[in-house]
A and B are shown apart, each in its own frame.
Chain A
């Protein structure tokens, strides 16, 4: 559950979830909506995927992301959006997940 809270604590990640609520999208389509570097974007995807909020499927060359949220997580997202919820993020864990994602890709 702490992973879910961490995932929902970032405005960019919440925006990603809001976009995915409309329809499943590829990583590229999602990135178009943000002014964020590609590695940072995939770090966000990794956090969301580890929290189990999104699911990824390979389709040809692109990766399609789709929402995979329980009702409780959905409610938490709305709550977080409404109150502009941000948590102090642990810098070390952020750089670690970033490194891992860069390393994997």
Chain B
């Protein structure tokens, strides 16, 4: 019983944070169109919100145990990789917040995007050989455990995917200065998101998970 409530709380915070980020981004964009706030302030605010989201996600990442797949992923290294990713993201997130608060905007955008990309490559490299277990699940002993793990996976993996995709998109957009290029890249990125998301949903399909 306790395990259930404990693992859903961090997840809820992560989901709410992500929704909050999307809503705040939309609100800021609308406010900018209507001329309420200056574009520079909007960019700073976006960077700050992104930084906070990175900290929150990084903080709860080891607690949600995305790489936990008994029998497939070795438990010690899996937990270590989760902890590594969590700490990396928290540090990067704090750096984002500091940069967008204090550094000149141009530099904040350039440095933060490079930091974001490097952090993602680092995390991806340490997770690469354990992603199979994260996506397809482990060999849980009982049916109840397998179902529980499957449900958890279907919540956590899309959430993490959405987070890393948003971070990648933001990094690319921050790096680009050409306005026309941003629109085009933005369009392709959002199309790619839904394509990959659909693919992920097929992989995480409950029927397939319970059969395997």
Contacts A49-B2, A55-B3, A59-B141 given; does A70 touch B63 at CB 8 Å:
yes
- Residues 53-70 of B, flagged 1 when their CB comes within 8 A of A and 0 if not, give 000001111110100000
A50 CB–B CB distance under 8 Å: yes
- Residues 72-83 of A, flagged 1 when their CB comes within 8 A of B and 0 if not, give 111000000000
Residues of A within 8 A of B62 (CB): 67-71, 74
Could you tell me if B87 and A71 are in contact, using CB atoms closer than 8 angstroms?
yes
Could you tell me if B59 and A24 are in contact, using CB atoms closer than 8 angstroms?
no
Q: Select from chain A the residue with minimum beta-carbon distance to B6.
A: A52
A42 CB–B CB distance under 8 Å: no
Size class of the B contact interface (CB-based, 8 Å): 20 to 34
Could you tell me if B61 and A68 are in contact, using CB atoms closer than 8 angstroms?
no
Residues of B within 8 A of A22 (CB): 76
Could you tell me if B79 and A66 are in contact, using CB atoms closer than 8 angstroms?
yes
A56 CB–B CB distance under 8 Å: yes
Contact of B60 among A21, A59, A70 (CB under 8 A): A70
Contact of A68 among B63, B87, B145 (CB under 8 A): B63
Residues of B within 8 A of A70 (CB): 10, 59-60, 62-63, 86
Residues of A within 8 A of B83 (CB): 71, 74
Residues of B within 8 A of A90 (CB): none
Residues of A within 8 A of B61 (CB): 71
A66 to B76, CA, bound (A): 9
A93 CB–B CB distance under 8 Å: no
B20 CB–A CB distance under 8 Å: no
A23 CB–B CB distance under 8 Å: yes
Chain B: minimal CB distance from A68 (Å): 6
Residues of A within 8 A of B10 (CB): 70
Interface residues of B in 131-150 (CB under 8 A from A): 141, 145
Could you tell me if B2 and A24 are in contact, using CB atoms closer than 8 angstroms?
no
Residues of B within 8 A of A24 (CB): 75-76, 79
5 sample A-B contacts, Cβ–Cβ < 8 Å, listed by A number: A23-B76, A52-B63, A67-B62, A70-B63, A73-B63
Known contacts A23-B79, A70-B62; can you find 18 more A-B pairs with CB under 8 A?
A22-B76, A23-B75, A24-B75, A55-B7, A56-B3, A66-B75, A68-B63, A68-B65, A69-B63, A70-B10, A70-B63, A71-B59, A71-B60, A71-B62, A71-B86, A71-B90, A74-B83, A74-B86
Interface residues of A (CB under 8 A from B): 21-24, 49-50, 52, 55-57, 59, 66-74
Nearest 6 pairs of A and B residues by beta carbon = A23-B76, A52-B6, A71-B86, A70-B63, A71-B59, A24-B75
